[in-house]
Amino acid sequence: MIRNLFDGILAVLLAVVMGIAIALGLGMLGLTDTPWWRLGPWLAGLGLLGGWQQTVSSNVAGGIGWTVTTVGAPLLVTGVVALFVALRAKRSTWVGLFPAAIGAGAAAALLVFASQASQTVSNAAGSVTTDETLTWFWQDMHPGTVAGAAALVGLLWLLHTVGRGWWLSGRGVALGVLVWLGVVLTAAMVAGAMYLTSSTAVGIALALLYPLAGTLGLFAAVGVPVDASLTRLTAERLTVATWDQGLVYTAGGVLGALLLAAVVGLLLRLFKHRSTWLGALTVTPLLAAFLAWAMSTAIEVPVALGTPSQVTINPLLAAAAGLGLALVTRFVAGRPRVAPITPAPTQPGAPSDIDALLREVGID
């Protein structure tokens, strides 16, 4: 139990280390002025499925103030936590999820407390105070850092203990079509961003903050609507979908996505996958829904400043898209590999009456 408690704490510490690494990368690229020892823990909190908020208050003009909130997980942070919990949970039992979740929640609470920042600027007109912090337990319709960290570690622990057999029965298809294909598509998007912006920094930042942006692009290709807007540049939230662009775009997007899913299926066939139909058609939609929810990014600003900056996808529609992609991938992949069964050694039978008679006449 104590070991499981420390596992939860270590998961949060690894998230902080990865967040700091991303912050250092963004700083070296010249894309942020925020010091790494501030930005790193904030990115860790977002990766633990929490949120971040900035509150501005002042005594100018009778007291002006507003709040900006940000949600959206950098999946490099979330992925490191997922890998660590998977390695630790398979050596334990499902009971360990309780101390692990408690340890993660306690460590996340310390992270929130330690990452708070406050700055006050004063002049003849008055003073303005800016408070920046990770959210604690809940923020509107999104979990806070403490609740997010505890839930993430607890659910992953449960998945790799009680649900381990189910996860393994669909892991090949789910990871193949959503993660590995997503990484390849993200690399293509990074190359395109570098070409269009003539900036290597923009492409690297895209890879650091959205390593599975290609997965969102895959969902959009099959027709899942994407809600997007940018503060002060778009008057309202825009919904972009291939269905709105005509039959050619719709058919081209769906056909392209299905062909990519078929390629993943061929690779799984070559590497002798173990995914069953039931596992592939249940694990993949759930993973697709989680990725869509976790990667959906929204920066909510006061109404006076305009629309929020966001890129979001409906998790339910993403799950439906994941189901369709899993169908194609699993069909092309063919029959799963079956582990060889070693026959049990046969026990020598009791001596028969014939053997005893032969022994009596001297014939062995």
Domain ranges of the chain: 1-162, 165-339
Strand 226-229 relative to strand 138-139, pairing: unpaired
Q: Please name the residues in contact with 125: beta carbons below 8 A apart, sequence gap of 6 or more.
A: 60
Mean pLDDT of 231-246: 76
Count of beta carbons in the 10 Å neighbourhood of residue 36:
19
Q: Which of 134, 131, 129 is nearest to 113 (CA)?
A: 134
CA 345 to chain CA mean position, Å = 46
Q: Is the pLDDT of residue 347 over 70?
A: no
Residues 89-140 have pLDDT tens digits of 988 888 989 999 999 999 999 999 999 988 888 777 778 888 899 999 988 7
192 touches 118 (CB < 8 A) = no
Position with higher pLDDT, 21 vs 356: 21
Helix (H) or strand (E) holding 82: helix 75-89
- State which amino acid sits at residue 311: V
Q: How much helix, strand and coil, in percent to the nearest 5, is found in the chain?
A: 60, 15, 25
3-state SS, 247-268, equals HHHHHHHHHHHHHHHHHHHHHH
pLDDT of residue 352: 53
Give the orientation angle of helix 277-295 with respect to helix 75-89, to 10 degrees. Answer: 140
Mean pLDDT of 18-37: 93
Residues 138-160 have pLDDT tens digits of 887 789 999 999 999 999 999 99
Q: Which of 224, 257, 254, 219 is nearest to 239 (CA)?
A: 224
Q: Is pTM beyond 0.85 here?
A: yes
pLDDT of residue 320: 95
